[in-house]
């Protein structure tokens, strides 16, 4: 996620005025990034905290405490520390650092500078901090501001979304292949994704959501029948996805000590 954000920000049409610095535990990954982005400045965690007033902490939750230890000596009230995970709470983080805090939940869709970034103000963040983050993120995504208590459900859509959609489409292509194996699997994947891409563009023509259903589903027809089959399983499936992700987040949260 960290390297994805670096790539998205450094490749954005609207250039950043400030330097972008990055640090990583395994330096070889950083070297790879530096080869492609000459303007990227690389350093150790502590050096970054000394050079940059806005810091994105893009480690896994389990590595958060260690990364914080490394930057803590340089953190001041002037810093804005941004988490990108739901597993560490903003209150928990604010109690462990002297700086202002916020959350941004990115999405892999930002790799192509699309999709939505969730923006969550922290206990000490200021209006200027949030405006600054919004300005930064709008270069690579649409920005949607929420509170931390809304974050699990919203993350399940915008951030887990690329994974959920990829799995949904893979299953769809797979069952079409099973029904008609004389069309190659790769072609089925092309047909599915090209359809998804086209449908995603329909709102631009003023046709969205329910209107799409009205246009394509004739009562008694085959799309109608397929939708009936989906209605029998999808609500339970999405309910289970929401329930299980929330449960998993709770388990991971309880294990975090900063
Ligand atoms: N994946 C997603 O779609 C997504 C979406 C939104 C939010 N997130 C959140 O983003 C965070 C990172 O996820 P990810 O998928 O990007 O994980 P990842 O691929 O494992 O990347 C984490 C990176 O952090 C580095 N790291 C660990 N400890 C460090 C330290 N002390 N100092 C410097 N670098 C350190 C790791 O270095 P090494 O190279 O040595 O392992 C690794 O490159 C998670 O909290 C996740 O919840 C992920």
The model carries a pTM of 0.95
Q: How does 147-168 read in b/e, with b if 16+ C-beta sit within 10 Å?
A: ebeebbebbbebbbbeeeeeee
Per the structure block, which two tokens stand in for 156?
A: 């399940």
Q: Are residues 81 and 93 in contact, defined by beta-carbon separation less than 8 angstroms?
A: yes
Q: What are phi and psi of 126, to 5 degrees?
A: -100, 170
Query: What is the Cα–Cα distance from 251 to 22, expressed in whole angstroms?
Result: 30
pLDDT at 52: 97
List, by residue range, all CATH 3.40.50.720 domains of the chain.
Answer: 2-147
Identify which of 18, 40, 19, 39 has the alpha carbon closest to the alpha carbon of residue 29.
40
Round to whole Å and give the CA distance between 257 and 62. 9
* CATH 1.10.3730.10 placement within the chain: 161-254
The residue contributing the CA closest to ligand 1 atom 36 is: 25
In short, whether 29's Cβ falls inside 6 Å of ligand 1 is: yes
pLDDT value of position 234? 97
pLDDT value, residue 196: 97
Task: Classify domain 161-254 by CATH number.
Answer: 1.10.3730.10
Fold of 2-147: Rossmann fold (3.40.50)
Could you tell me the mean pLDDT of each successive run of 10 residues in the chain, 258 residues long?
94 92 94 93 96 97 96 97 97 96 97 96 96 96 98 98 98 98 98 97 93 93 97 98 98 94
Using the mean position of ligand 1's atoms as its centre, give its distance from the Cα of residue 107 in Å: 13
58 Cα: distance to centroid of ligand 1 (angstroms): 5
């Amino acid at each position: 996620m960290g390297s994805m954000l670096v790539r998205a920000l450094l490749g954005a049409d609207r250039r950043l005025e400030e330097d972008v610095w990055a640090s990583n535990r395994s330096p070889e990954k950083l070297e790879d990034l530096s080869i492609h982005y000459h303007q990227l400045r690389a350093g150790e965690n502590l050096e970054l905290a000394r050079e940059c007033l806005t810091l994105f902490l893009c480690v896994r939750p389990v590595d958060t405490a260690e990364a914080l230890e490394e930057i803590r000596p340089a953190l001041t009230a002037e810093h804005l520390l941004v988490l990108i995970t739901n597993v560490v709470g903003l209150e928990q983080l604010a109690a462990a650092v002297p700086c202002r805090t916020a959350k941004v939940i990115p999405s892999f869709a930002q790799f192509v500078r699309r999709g939505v970034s969730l923006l969550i103000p922290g206990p000490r963040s200021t209006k200027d901090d949030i405006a600054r983050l919004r300005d930064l993120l709008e270069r690579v995504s649409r920005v949607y501001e929420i509170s931390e208590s809304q974050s699990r459900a919203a993350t399940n859509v915008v951030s887990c979304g690329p994974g959920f959609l990829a799995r949904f489409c893979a299953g769809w292509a797979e069952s079409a292949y099973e029904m008609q194996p004389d069309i190659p699997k790769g072609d089925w994947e092309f047909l599915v994704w090209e359809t998804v891409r086209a449908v995603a563009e329909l709102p631009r023509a003023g046709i969205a959501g329910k209107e799409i259903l009205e246009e394509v589903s004739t009562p008694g027809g085959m799309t109608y029948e397929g939708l009936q089959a989906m209605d029998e399983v999808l609500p339970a499936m999405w309910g289970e996805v929401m329930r299980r992700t929330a449960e998993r987040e709770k388990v991971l949260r309880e294990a975090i000590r900063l």
